[in-house]
Copies of this chain bind each other. A is one copy, B any other.
């Protein structure tokens, strides 16, 4: 039997989905919730973000050797973090201010591996949901949409290279909106009011070129499709082999029902 899987859980429903998938595969799971982020009742124990020593102790005491980090965590200020000694040492080492989200995640993963844990990506547990290349549903992007996807891939990768965001919305060649820290949902909602007349835009989500793939994969699901449709978008493009599609069948059915395409595109 595989080692006990620890899930360090942030916000959103990804931790629950990972726990369900791991348990469904017969694995023993222990969920450590980050206070202020994880949603009850999933976590079996809780820890403050700034209490790294306590968190590591709990995971060891629970016999966890393999870890997955899942769900959103809003980066705190150093003051709000109230770091314990272990956390402070880590923060001093990496110089937290200088890192984007991705750099910070990579440092956390390295630190946990230094503590003897094996850190695995959500995709290794939710393997079936990694986006394949090509059109996923019944709707095929037309020429204008394909042009928008190409422009979006270039723009999203450039943003990712700067460790800024993963997503852009492009319509008729114009980059309507760019994701900063507000998240994809807020980006999509905002672009509804920025839309041009004529053929609707597309949402493009790509992994960052240097992305720590064990921590923060670009993710879409049925909710993303509904929000995109509500915002007048005509489709969604995600990076093949790097983006997670939650509830794949449901996501594709939602897109087909609303006339949206979903397409997996290779990294450039």
Chain A contacts to B: CB under 8 angstroms: 74-80, 96-101, 144, 147, 154-155, 158-159, 161-162, 164-165, 168-169, 172-182, 186, 190-191, 194, 196-198
10 contacts between A and B (CB under 8 A): A76-B196, A77-B172, A97-B147, A97-B173, A165-B175, A175-B180, A176-B180, A177-B180, A177-B181, A182-B190
B78, B96, B178, B194: which contacts A178 (Cβ < 8 A)?
B178
A99's closest neighbor in chain B, by CB?
B173
| A76 to B99 CA separation, bound complex (whole angstroms) | 39
Determine if B155 and A75 form an interchain contact, defined as CB atoms under 8 angstroms apart: no
A198's closest neighbor in chain B, by CB?
B77
Determine if B182 and A194 form an interchain contact, defined as CB atoms under 8 angstroms apart: yes
Asked, given contacts A78-B198, A158-B158, A194-B181, whether A164 binds B172 with beta carbons under 8 Å apart, the answer is no
Interface class of chain A by DSSP: mixed
In the bound complex, residues from chain B placing their C-beta under 8 Å from that of A75 are: 174, 196
Determine if B98 and A173 form an interchain contact, defined as CB atoms under 8 angstroms apart: yes
Determine if B180 and A79 form an interchain contact, defined as CB atoms under 8 angstroms apart: no
Asked, given contacts A80-B197, A97-B144, A198-B78, whether A181 binds B173 with beta carbons under 8 Å apart, the answer is no
In the bound complex, residues from chain B placing their C-beta under 8 Å from that of A80 are: 197-198
Asked, given contacts A77-B197, A147-B97, whether A178 binds B179 with beta carbons under 8 Å apart, the answer is yes
In the bound complex, residues from chain B placing their C-beta under 8 Å from that of A175 are: 100, 162, 164-165, 180-181
In the bound complex, residues from chain B placing their C-beta under 8 Å from that of A169 are: 180
- Nearest Cβ distance between residue A206 and chain B, in whole angstroms? 14
- Nearest Cβ distance between residue A147 and chain B, in whole angstroms? 7
A148's closest neighbor in chain B, by CB?
B97
